[in-house]
Structures are given as structure tokens and as C-alpha cells.
């Protein structure tokens, strides 16, 4: 029996490499856990059935267990005959470090049991990793490496064990609800203490430790059921704090839609008798797919028309689907190691994108995906944190839950479907599950299934998993009038997207890039050649189309068929034509975006402070869009009228770049559009204004109406004058009466940018009062103010942080102010550097509480090498401050700071 031991040193900062993967000495076949939750501490007893992995180890080999912030009470080896012997710390027993435990006193046998007893303190766990306390409940977050903060275990995804008995015990009054993975097989009152009760859970499916979960608390719920295609009835429940139960309905409806869709699209049924979802207010991520017990951030669960926007409803549907789809792509088949994270995340993001498109508008969904990709992932690929979708190394795995792994990873999966067709992709998925159900596998295994199911050589496609950076594709055209042929020559600029990276990280080989094209008649707008997949496999390749009586207009990279930067010398007339007539909805939007980007970059190059002269072609294209009464999906029109994001434009420009000048250039273009089309926007706004007493409906069609109306409102508010203030105040009041958060928030977002006046003050107070303490609504109240494009924004943000409702300990609340400010160009990039100093201070402050969140804040500095010399120097000063404190930094924040500092 070992004496209680506590190891509190900082875990070692060690870089891990994909090439060094090695199977563990022991597999864990079975796990039994006894979790007893008390006020102030929780006792965890774990019994692990260990089986020697004789392919890599001899009997008696050491057993390596991960563990952090655990108070160890005892370690015992239980031999096959049931004999238990306590181990002591030392070379014959076990050795502890800040990273875990190495058991050296293992028996020379093929299998044995190991029992450990530890104590953890969830109430003090501000990292929100492992077991922690949030509001009215104890809950867990184990991905990626939280299980080691719960008990000693080989905390790696290839160790898949059956959790045959998990007993959770807690106070009946404080924690009347007890939940765990799998099926509940027993429950009752504790015989030794009538004030306590227990529940026992059994999960019949082997799973890695990151999918383990328990919840204990005072929760309300809604219930329903779903009958699978094979006739099994599944009990469904969504839990939250008692006061939020009336906001759970949309999550339940979304879950049932997702279950049906996965059966219809991929033939995949749910495999347990129960499926539970729990909404938690304190949560680092969006949601977690624990087997049968999903744990969600409240921001992605709770919705009611007066508390959530249309965008919130759409996100909830998508994320509920995402976590459910993980049951097969992530849980039934998981990752061999964390370098393969995109195997489950890229694939499941693609699946949730397809689901959301089928539930609503595929074109609108695709536009939204690409907007996020360009605003978040392209900058990541073009900066110091660039990595392949399958990283080659990491220090803190939590840093690699990135836009590249998720969003670009989904684009990689989408390219399989583009190349193989929907039927071929399904054949590949079927073979993947047939081969690997119950296994921990790699991205190569997925690619092999796709290739073999379709009889295709996809060896070159591996380059998408190996190369960082955004590929660049140049397209040039030639029309031969005599031969009536039209030739497109595609060339990939091999390595161009990696020029900013150190030599050792570059990999410059041609990729397999599917470029979907169509050809349009310049005179009529009719489609001459429908969508065709051109496979660019070499540095340069030409494709010739015959029977062309006149030179067509090419529609390139339709539906954004590959995550690349496309270069083609479109004229403004070409783009206006495509915006009006392209038969590909995505490319109609893309053409309008290209016109907007060109206008902004032209304005950036002009004399600072000058008014923008809107080109006639661009103005006419926008006027046609805003006055389009034929397009049924009004969200398409709304997105076409929104100018491209500054972060996306910055990626197309040559450094050094003044971000504030770029911001002002975009503002000048926006103002010019607002002035030129004011009557058009006013007319459409009034047309879309709901009639008095009109019922509020939450669906795609009505969301489109509100989206277009609010885009019109944004242009009508561009002058920031008395009329704009009055219009916003009127919409705010009307939205309050109707209980419509979408319109209410849109109005408030503009009001906070108006000169201070009674209407602004009144609206802010009314919004806060209406929230009635609802955390998510108050987050919106904070966010709108932190996002305001006003000169004194830094002072406002500091004032918001002094508000009684603000806290750094809740990630949602922190992000609603600090992260929003980091994206406020005028405030963060102030010429005096005060915005950068503010962020550096927050990184250090938050790192002591929650390293995962702090490392994300540090990413705000990642574009510094692209900025003007003055701002480069100011950011370097703050990075120097952070580097000087490396010994105090968490490994999460250390990794980001060190890589960002080395940017070139």
C-alpha cells in the first residue's frame, strides 16, 4: 500500500512526432471505475485489466500511465488468482513524475489487473479538463488528454477498452441526476449513508479514454425516443440546468433529424439503448461526442426565438448532428494517434456540412463553409501555425484542434466525393467501416478504403495530408476561332503556399487537385458545358473543349471544389456577368465577392481618406442582387451583398499591410455602396419588414428574409446619422415586441456604433434587462459592445471587464469580450500598440487559469509578420514579454508563443 503522494510540478514541454509512433507495452482490455463525489474532493478507484502487447514488449515490461494533478493514495497489482499486492514508490514498484507514473513492478505474465486510488479536486479545476464543477453539476471533458487528470491511465486513442462497470456516487440533494456512458445497469441509495446514492453504467463497446464521461448534478431534462431502421427504440434525453429546460426543444428535434439522416445517407444506425445530451455553461470547446453521453457547450444547445438568432439555430442543428455522427466516424472507428485527428474531425465536419445542406440550402451552407475557411483557415495556413491536416509534430495536442484539421480536413474529404462521385464515396465509406469497425486507424487506412472500393490509385492524394499551406492554381484560357476550340491551361504553383515556412517544413510536390469547371455563353448566359471535373495532377496541364462557336466565359472552381487560391484574369465585366448568370450558385456569390475584394484593394492603394468611386459594373451587379425578386433563397442574396472579410482579403495582399488602412478601405467601399444604392436598400428593407402582428417563424425561408433585411439595415446605417439611429431603434423596439433575437441583435450591433445618445443607452439597458440573467444572452450583450467600430473601443472593453457579470473563468464570457476585441481591427491594431499590450496581459492572466483558452488568445499575434513595420515592432515587444516568461507558461501557450515569435 503506497502512502498518499501528490505531484504538482509542471509537466515537461516535449515535442512529439508522428514518425515516432509506437504501440504501448500493454493494452487495457477492461476498465472498472468507482467514482465517489464529495464536497471539495472526488475519490476515483480504477481497476485496469492489462494485457501484454507481445508484439513490442516482453513479460514484466514497464507499464506507462499518464497522470496530471492527481493525489495518489495507493497502487496495487492484482494477479490472475486475485492476489493483490501493494506497490511502493521506487524502482521495484512505481515511479512518479509530473506527467504520470511508470509501473516497474509488473508481473511476468501475459495479463494482470492494476488498481489505483486517487483524489481529485473538481471544484478547483479551472482548466475545465478532466472532472470539474460547473454551476450545478460535476462533468467531464476528456478529449484530448483530460482522462489523465481523472485517474492514471495510458491516455492515448489507440488504447480501446470496455468500461464494464462504472459506479458514480454523490449526494442525492446536490446531485439527483447521475449519468455515464452506455446503459445504466444498477442504481440505488448507498447503504452506509442514506443521503447519498449511486448509479452503475456499462458500455458494451470498447472505446479510448477520451470518450469517457460522467455527469452528476441537479438537472432538468426533456425526453423523446427514436426508432431505428431495424426497429430498436432509443431513449433520448437532453439535460440542462433547471431554468433552461424550455430552451432544449430545438436540440432534440435536431438530434432526431441527424439520426434519420445518417440512416438514409450512409446506412448507419445508432447502437445503444439510450442517447443523452447535457448542456454545460463552462466548456472549453463546442461539444464532445462521448459515447452515448454527449456534453455540449450551452451556446450550442440552448435556443428560443427570443434568446437565439437564426445563426444560433443553424449552428445548433449542425453541431448536434456533428457529435451524433461521431458515433461512427470517431467512436466506432477512432484514431490510432492524435496526429490522425482529421480522420475523425475532417470526416465528421464534412458529414455535418452535408447534413446541414440537406436540411436547408446546400448553396447557402457551402458559402458559409468557404467564408469560414477563408477567414480562419487560409490565414492559419499562411502564418506561423501552418501545419498539414495531419500534423507531423506537436507539443500540446489541444493546440491542434484547428481550422486546418477541421475545416481544411473537411475539404479534403469533400475532394474524395468530388473525384469519386457520391456513389463512389459511399462505397468507400462502406468498405472503411467493414474493415475497421472497432479499431483505431490512420488517415492512410481511410484513403486505402476509398481507393480500393473504387479501383482508383489515390497515392498522389496523400500530398493533401503531407503539405502545409494553401495551394495556388493559375488558370489561363485560349480560344481558337478557326478550330472552334477553347483551351484551359491549369498550373499549380508548387510550393507557393509554403514560401513563408522554414525550409524543413516545406514539401513541394504536385498535388491531385479536382477543379470543377463549366462554360457559359457570353451572349445568353446559358450553360454550354455543364460542371466537369478536371484533375490537375502535374505542375501544368491543358484541357481542350471542342465545338465552341464563340469564346465562352469560364466558371472555375465550381462549388469551391478544392481548398486553393485561384488566379484567373477575369475582367470586371466577366465578374458582373457571372454574378448575374452563372448556373453555379456558389460561383455567382464568388463573382460578387471578387468584385468587392477588388474594390477594397483598389481603395487601399488610393489616397488615405479619399472617397471610393464605385465602378459602374460593381454597382449594377449589386443593384441587380438587391432587387432580385426571382431567387427564392434570400440568404443567397444576403451573402452576395456582404463584402469579403478583411482577414480573407489580407491573405490575397502582398506584405507589409496596414490593417487599419485596410479596415478603412473596406469601410469606404461599404459607404460608397450604401450611398449609391440607398433607395434600393430602403425599398427592400421596407418590403421585408414584418407586418404588425405577423407570427415569428423559425425556418430557412424566414431566416433568409431576416438575413437580407438586416444586410439592408447595415448599409442604411452606414452614415451613422440621426436617421440611421432612429431606424435601428425602431427595429430594436419592434424585435423586442415580437421576441425576435435575430433582428434585435442586428439593431443593437449598429446602435452601439452610433454617437452616444438616449436611444443607444436605452437599448443597451433594455437588452440587458430582457436577458434576466440568461448567460448566453448576456454574452451577446458583451459581444456587441466589444465588436463596435468606435475610436474608444479599448476603453469600453476595459470597462466591460469591470462589469459584475464579467469573469475570466467562463470561456464563453471571456470570448464574448476578449476574443471579440482581438478581431476588432481598429481597437486591436491601434497605432500606439495599446491593443497588443492589452492582449498580452490577458494571455498571461488567463494562462494561469485555463491554458487551452490562453493559447487561443495568443494566436491573435500570428499575423504580425504580414503587417507594416511599425506594428511588427509593437507586437514583437509583446511577444518578447511573453517569451521572457516561458518558464511560467503552460505548454499550450508556450507552443503558440514560440511558433508565432519565429514567423517570417
CB contact at 8 A, 151 and 141? no
Here the cell at position 831 is 497605432
Query: Three-state SS for 405?
Result: helix
Report the largest interatomic distance among the alpha carbons of the chain, rounded to a whole angstrom.
Answer: 96
End-to-end CA distance of the chain: 55
Q: What's the length of the chain?
A: 904
The answer to whether the Cα torsion of 435, 440, 444, 446 is positive or negative is: positive
Angle at 343 between CA 341 and CA 346, to 5 degrees: 90
Here the cell at position 180 is 455515464
CA distance to 232, 512, 691, per residue, from 271 (Å): 9, 37, 48
Q: Characterize the bridge pairing of strands 393-394 and 16-17.
A: antiparallel
Angle at 705 between CA 704 and CA 707, to 5 degrees: 60
Q: Characterize the bridge pairing of strands 193-202 and 84-86.
A: unpaired
Task: Give phi and psi for 34, each to the nearest 5.
Answer: -125, 110
Task: Give phi and psi for 279, each to the nearest 5.
Answer: -95, 125
Cross-strand pairs, 334: 440
CA distance to 169, 568, 707, per residue, from 592 (Å): 59, 15, 17
Burial string for 25-55 (b: 16+ CB within 10 Å, else e) reads bbbbbbbbbbbbbeeeebbbbbbbbbebeee
Beta-carbon neighbour count of residue 462 at 10 Å? 16
323 is catalytic: yes
d(CA 181, CA 140): 12
Question: Would you state the torsion angle of the CA atoms of residues 877, 878, 881, 882, taken in this order, to the nearest 10 degrees?
Answer: -140
Query: Three-state SS for 541?
Result: strand
Of 143, 317, 323, 895, which is the active-site residue?
Answer: 323
d(CA 430, CA 819): 41
Catalytic residues: 323
Amino acid at each position: 500500500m503506497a502512502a498518499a503522494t501528490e505531484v504538482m510540478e509542471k509537466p515537461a514541454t516535449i515535442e512529439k512526432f508522428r514518425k515516432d509512433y509506437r504501440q504501448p507495452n500493454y493494452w487495457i482490455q477492461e476498465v472498472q471505475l468507482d467514482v465517489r463525489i464529495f464536497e471539495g474532493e472526488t475519490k476515483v478507484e480504477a481497476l485496469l485489466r492489462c494485457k501484454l502487447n507481445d508484439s513490442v514488449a516482453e513479460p514484466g515490461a514497464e507499464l506507462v500511465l499518464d497522470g496530471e494533478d492527481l493525489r495518489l493514495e495507493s497502487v496495487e497489482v492484482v494477479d490472475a488468482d486475485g492476489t493483490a499486492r501493494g506497490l511502493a514508490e521506487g524502482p521495484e514498484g512505481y515511479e512518479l513524475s509530473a506527467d504520470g507514473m511508470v509501473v516497474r513492478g509488473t508481473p511476468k505474465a501475459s495479463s494482470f489487473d492494476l488498481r489505483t486510488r486517487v483524489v481529485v479536486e473538481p471544484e478547483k479545476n479551472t482548466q475545465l479538463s478532466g472532472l470539474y464543477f460547473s454551476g450545478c453539476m460535476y462533468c467531464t471533458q476528456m478529449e484530448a488528454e483530460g482522462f489523465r487528470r481523472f485517474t492514471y491511465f495510458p491516455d492515448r486513442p489507440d488504447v480501446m477498452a470496455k468500461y464494464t462497470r462504472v459506479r458514480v456516487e454523490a449526494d442525492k440533494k446536490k446531485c439527483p441526476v447521475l449519468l455515464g456512458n452506455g446503459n445504466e445497469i444498477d442504481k440505488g441509495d448507498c447503504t452506509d449513508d442514506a443521503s447519498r446514492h449511486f448509479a452503475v453504467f456499462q458500455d458494451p463497446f470498447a472505446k479510448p479514454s477520451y470518450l469517457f464521461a460522467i455527469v452528476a448534478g441537479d438537472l432538468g431534462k426533456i425526453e423523446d425516443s427514436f426508432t431505428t431502421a431495424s426497429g430498436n427504440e432509443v431513449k433520448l434525453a437532453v439535460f440542462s440546468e433547471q431554468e433552461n429546460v424550455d430552451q432544449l426543444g430545438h436540440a432534440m428535434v435536431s438530434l432526431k433529424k441527424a439520426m434519420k439522416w445518417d440512416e438514409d445517407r450512409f446506412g448507419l444506425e445508432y447502437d445503444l439503448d439510450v442517447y443523452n445530451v447535457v448542456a454545460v455553461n463552462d466548456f472549453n470547446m463546442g461539444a464532445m461526442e462521448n459515447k452515448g453521453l454527449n456534453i455540449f457547450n450551452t451556446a450550442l444547445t440552448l435556443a428560443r426565438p427570443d434568446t437565439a438568432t437564426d445563426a444560433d439555430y443553424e449552428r445548433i442543428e449542425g453541431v448536434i448532428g456533428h457529435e451524433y455522427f461521431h458515433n461512427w466516424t470517431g467512436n466506432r472507428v477512432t484514431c490510432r494517434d492524435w496526429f490522425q485527428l482529421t480522420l475523425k474531425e475532417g470526416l465528421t465536419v464534412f458529414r455535418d456540412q452535408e447534413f446541414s445542406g440537406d436540411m436547408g440550402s446546400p448553396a447557402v451552407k457551402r458559402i458559409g463553409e468557404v467564408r469560414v475557411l477563408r477567414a480562419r483557415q487560409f490565414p492559419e495556413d499562411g502564418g506561423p501555425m501552418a501545419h498539414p491536416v495531419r500534423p507531423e509534430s506537436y507539443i500540446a495536442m489541444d493546440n491542434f484542434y484547428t481550422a486546418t484539421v477541421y475545416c481544411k480536413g473537411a475539404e479534403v474529404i469533400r475532394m474524395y466525393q468530388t473525384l469519386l462521385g457520391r456513389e463512389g464515396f459511399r462505397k468507400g465509406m462502406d468498405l472503411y467501416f467493414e474493415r475497421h469497425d472497432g479499431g483505431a486507424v490512420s488517415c492512410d487506412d481511410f484513403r486505402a478504403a476509398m481507393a480500393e472500393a473504387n479501383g482508383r490509385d489515390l497515392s498522389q492524394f496523400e500530398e493533401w495530408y503531407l503539405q502545409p499551406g494553401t495551394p495556388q492554381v493559375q488558370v489561363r484560357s485560349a480560344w481558337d476561332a478557326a478550330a472552334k476550340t477553347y483551351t484551359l491551361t491549369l498550373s499549380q504553383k508548387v510550393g507557393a503556399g509554403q514560401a513563408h515556412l522554414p525550409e524543413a517544413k516545406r514539401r513541394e510536390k504536385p498535388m491531385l487537385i479536382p477543379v470543377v469547371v463549366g462554360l457559359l455563353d457570353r451572349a445568353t448566359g446559358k450553360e454550354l458545358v455543364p460542371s466537369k471535373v478536371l484533375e490537375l495532377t502535374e505542375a501544368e496541364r491543358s484541357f481542350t473543349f471542342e465545338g465552341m462557336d464563340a469564346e465562352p466565359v469560364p466558371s472555375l472552381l465550381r462549388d469551391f471544389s478544392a481548398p486553393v487560391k485561384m488566379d484567373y484574369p477575369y475582367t470586371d465585366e466577366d465578374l458582373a456577368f457571372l454574378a448575374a448568370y452563372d448556373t453555379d450558385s456558389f460561383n455567382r456569390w464568388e463573382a460578387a465577392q471578387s468584385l468587392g475584394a477588388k474594390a477594397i484593394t483598389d481603395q487601399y492603394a488610393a489616397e488615405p481618406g479619399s472617397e471610393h468611386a464605385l465602378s459602374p459594373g460593381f454597382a449594377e451587379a449589386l443593384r441587380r442582387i438587391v432587387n432580385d425578386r426571382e431567387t427564392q433563397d434570400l440568404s443567397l442574396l444576403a451573402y452576395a451583398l456582404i463584402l469579403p472579410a478583411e482577414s480573407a482579403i489580407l491573405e490575397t495582399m502582398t506584405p507589409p499591410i496596414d490593417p487599419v488602412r485596410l479596415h478603412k478601405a473596406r469601410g469606404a467601399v461599404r459607404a460608397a455602396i450604401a450611398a449609391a444604392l440607398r433607395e434600393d436598400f430602403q425599398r427592400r428593407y421596407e418590403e421585408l419588414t414584418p407586418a404588425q402582428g405577423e407570427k415569428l417563424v423559425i425556418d430557412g425561408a424566414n431566416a433568409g428574409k431576416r438575413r437580407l433585411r438586416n444586410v439592408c439595415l447595415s448599409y442604411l446605417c452606414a452614415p451613422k446619422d440621426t436617421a440611421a439611429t432612429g431606424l435601428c431603434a425602431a427595429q430594436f423596439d419592434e424585435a423586442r415586441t415580437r421576441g425576435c433575437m435575430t433582428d434585435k441583435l442586428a439593431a443593437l450591433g449598429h446602435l452601439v456604433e452610433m454617437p452616444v445618445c438616449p436611444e443607444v443607452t436605452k437599448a443597451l439597458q433594455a437588452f440587458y434587462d430582457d436577458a434576466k440573467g440568461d448567460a448566453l444572452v448576456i454574452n451577446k450583450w458583451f459581444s456587441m459592445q466589444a465588436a463596435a467600430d468606435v475610436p474608444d473601443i479599448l476603453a469600453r472593453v476595459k470597462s466591460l471587464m469591470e462589469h459584475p457579470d464579467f469573469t475570466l473563468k467562463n470561456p464563453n464570457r471571456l470570448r464574448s469580450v476578449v476574443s471579440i476585441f482581438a478581431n476588432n481591427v481598429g481597437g486591436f491594431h491601434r497605432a500606439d500598440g495599446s491593443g497588443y499590450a492589452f492582449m498580452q496581459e490577458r494571455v498571461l492572466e488567463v494562462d494561469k487559469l485555463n491554458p487551452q483558452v490562453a493559447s487561443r488568445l495568443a494566436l491573435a499575434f500570428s499575423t504580425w509578420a504580414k503587417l507594416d513595420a511599425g506594428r511588427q515592432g509593437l507586437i514583437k515587444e509583446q511577444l518578447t514579454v511573453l517569451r521572457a516568461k516561458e518558464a511560467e507558461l503552460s505548454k499550450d501557450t508556450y507552443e503558440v508563443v514560440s511558433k508565432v515569435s519565429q514567423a517570417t
